[in-house]
Amino acid sequence: MPKLKTHKGAKARFHVTGSGKLMRMKRMSSHLRRKKPKKVTRKYADRILVDPKDIKRFSRLLPYS
């Protein structure tokens, strides 16, 4: 059976924790940041957990993590 390929877009967007949970960045955190108030950029700077309904779909894209 061939090796499974990791989806590179998912690898760049998701982070797997030590317990196996998936984390992602919040929206509004990378594009056109200069126009936004500093309060907004601080608010959206941290990572949040992926919704439980989507974990199965995204974990298939990251087979060895």
The overall pTM is greater than 0.75: no
CATH number of domain containing 18:
4.10.410.60
Counting the structural domains of the chain, the total is 1
**Which domain does 56 fall in, by range?**
8-61
Confirm whether 3 is domain-assigned: no
Work out the pLDDT band at 5, boundaries 50, 70, 90: very high
User: What is the pLDDT, as a whole number, of residue 42?
Assistant: 84
Report pLDDT digits (tens) over 9-18: 999 999 999 9
pLDDT given at position 18: 93
Domain-located, residue 45: yes
* Residues 17-46 pLDDT 10s: 999 899 998 887 777 778 888 888 888 888
- Tell me how far CA of residue 8 lies from CA of 11, 24, 41, 59, in angstroms: 5, 14, 26, 13
